[in-house]
Structure 1
Amino acid sequence: MAATDTASGFIQVADGVRLAYNQYGPPSAPNLVLITGWAQTAAAFRKQVAHFQSHFRVTTYDHRGHGESDKPAFGYRVSRLAADLEALLSQLDLKDATLLGHSMGCSVIWAHWDLFPSSRSRIAKLVLIDQAPTLLRNPAWSDEEAARAAAVMPPQAVCEQLNALSGPSGKDAMATFAKGFLSPTVDPADAEWLLQQSLKMPLPYAATLLADHACADWRDLIPRINVPTLVIGAEGSLLPTQGMQWIADQIPGAKLRIFGKDEGGSHFMLWENPEGFNRAVEEFLTSS
């Protein structure tokens, strides 16, 4: 095995914004790109970096407005984040890569697949973790229709959340929102650490991005994915597992792994049960 090598720095995208990135593991090893969810930082993947860096070239980065990246007053939409991902793949010349997206990270992957078809040759596999095909629930849908889409946010709820995040009690709103991503039994220190990572993003920018993210509908795009894919969900997540099943059913040959409540199966199962999560991902990555 080649010696482990780390690298860090910034890439600059077309509109001048700098994105912070880190790379770990042998440069000649297969590429694994970890893409965070809404308002989270690359540090949230530290349990995955520690596991995978021995046999993979692991790349993490912070979206604009997140973590250590620049925080401009513009560009907080999923399509712009997809263009940022394209810049990362191109400037670091990442090939035959597995893209692993958590939560909104899946939406970034879906937007990238839609907008940059010429870059699909760089993508070997996908891992899609607990993201709804569309978060916005149409009031006319039945409960069954909403569950298949994992649509959990009625229009009024979206507006209320955005106003709360942008208002004078935004930090409290973020704390309440973030609490729902974790199991009730999670270590309070872990919950606080993840919350502090989220609060590195200015809350008005977080609200703007959430508005765009919540209203997107990816159901026409998902069936057009044609690379090996692992879909991961959790019984303890706010998102119904029927939505993860629907995604897996749309992608030819996709595999599905649902974490039970008794195995750290929250929206952050990658944090609460890193051993089980990493094992499931590694089995998929090393399968033919």
Structure 2
Amino acid sequence: MYQGGKYIKVEPGVEIFVQDVGSGDPIVFIPGWTFTTEVFHKQVEHFQKTNRVVVIDPRSHGRSSVTMHGNDYVTQGLDLAKVIEALELKNVTLVGWSFGCLTSWEYIRQNGTQNIKSLVFVDLSPKPLSTNHEQDWVEGPLDEIAAVYSTYLRDSEKQREFVTAYATDVMVQRELEEQELNWIVEQSLKTPHYVAANLFAAGMFADYREEAKLASDEVPTLTIIAEHWADQAKGFVQKHAPKSAIEVLGGHLMFWEHDEKFNQIVERFIQA
């Protein structure tokens, strides 16, 4: 069991695993598609010295219950609200990474920003898919995204192949050691391929542009973007979340590869 590990029941038969350590103003970290609390271990180590740090395994991820229903970001927003309520968190900073950003925006859609102190969105567009991929900030051209869904999420072997390629080409800039790559891939495979496919589609078809603007208008907001698409992404953020601060750092997993720089950026932001 992790330090501070506990389970929170969000509905009959469904428990969400959280790591809850430290004291002070709460920061809630939300991992992306199929990833787990483990990915934020360097942030837990750093921020627990000054803050209460809560990290969530969303449903069907990591140590949380694997379910056949609710594998979408509307339900993840509901689950997040129940975790925040159960832990009696007030004046929260939400840090969503990748599809974890969708969970934060969905929470805002359902609950507004009254219990939010600040927001950090790590490397995801509020509209991940568009036919205008040459101008909008999207995950990729429509045909490529369709191919991932129809080809690479049909069984566990293909899921492993996809995550391996994504980790190597997009998530990390340096060459990964074999044990590091295995660690990344094994996190993802804790979510069954049929659930991963559902989450992938739910995320790709999401549109949170209204919530992105509302968030940046109402509370301090920071968007951290990977270097490989920074120019396109910065323009999109400036259009749809005009009051958000913007930082550019590393690849998609920059908070793991460049943890000291990432932690400094977030620390400066939440202390401002």
Letter in 2 for 1:160: A
Alignment partner, residue 8 of structure 1:
5
For the 8 Å contact 2:72–2:198, the answer to whether it is kept is yes
Distance 2:149 2:168 in 1: 17
Normalised TM-score (structure 2)? 0.91
Quote the offset at 1:181 in angstroms.
2.9
Cα RMSD, aligned residues only:
1.8
The change in CA–CA distance for 1:206 and 1:191 in structure 2 (over 3 A counts) is same
Quote the offset at 1:249 in angstroms.
5.0
Alignment partner, residue 201 of structure 1:
191
The change in CA–CA distance for 1:241 and 1:20 in structure 2 (over 3 A counts) is farther
For the 8 Å contact 1:233–1:241, the answer to whether it is kept is no
Of 4, 14, 33, which aligns to 1:38? 33
Quote the offset at 1:168 in angstroms.
6.4
Gaps of 5+ in 2: none
Tell me if 1:271 matches 2:217: no
Normalised TM-score (structure 1)? 0.86
Quote the offset at 1:115 in angstroms.
1.6
Alignment partner, residue 224 of structure 1:
214
Distance 1:15 1:252 in 2: 41
| Secondary structure of residue in 2 paired with 1:60 | strand
Count of paired positions:
265
Tell me if 1:157 matches 2:149: no
Distance 2:55 2:235 in 1: 27
Quote the offset at 1:247 in angstroms.
2.2
Tell me if 1:87 matches 2:82: yes
The change in CA–CA distance for 1:282 and 1:245 in structure 2 (over 3 A counts) is farther
Tell me if 1:186 matches 2:180: no
Of 99, 113, 116, which aligns to 1:123? 116
1:5-47, Cα deviation, whole Å (9 max, x unpaired): x532111113531000111112xx1101001111110110000
Q: Indicate the larger mover: 92-101 or 159-168.
A: 159-168
Distance 1:253 1:233 in 2: 15
The change in CA–CA distance for 1:142 and 1:266 in structure 2 (over 3 A counts) is closer
Letter in 2 for 1:55: T
Distance 1:244 1:86 in 2: 29
Percent identical among aligned pairs is 30
1:127-159, Cα deviation, whole Å (9 max, x unpaired): 111001222131xx272x22xxx1133333222
| Secondary structure of residue in 2 paired with 1:12 | strand
Letter in 1 for 2:17: A
| Secondary structure of residue in 2 paired with 1:70 | coil
Quote the offset at 1:221 in angstroms.
2.5
Gaps of 5+ in 1: 1-5, 260-264
Letter in 2 for 1:20: F
Letter in 1 for 2:86: Q
Distance 1:15 1:154 in 2: 39
Quote the offset at 1:167 in angstroms.
3.5
Alignment partner, residue 128 of structure 2:
135
Letter in 2 for 1:25: G
Alignment partner, residue 246 of structure 1:
236
Quote the offset at 1:165 in angstroms.
1.3
For the 8 Å contact 1:231–1:248, the answer to whether it is kept is no
Of 69, 83, 88, which aligns to 1:74? 69
Quote the offset at 1:258 in angstroms.
0.9
Alignment partner, residue 21 of structure 1:
18
Distance 1:185 1:278 in 2: 19
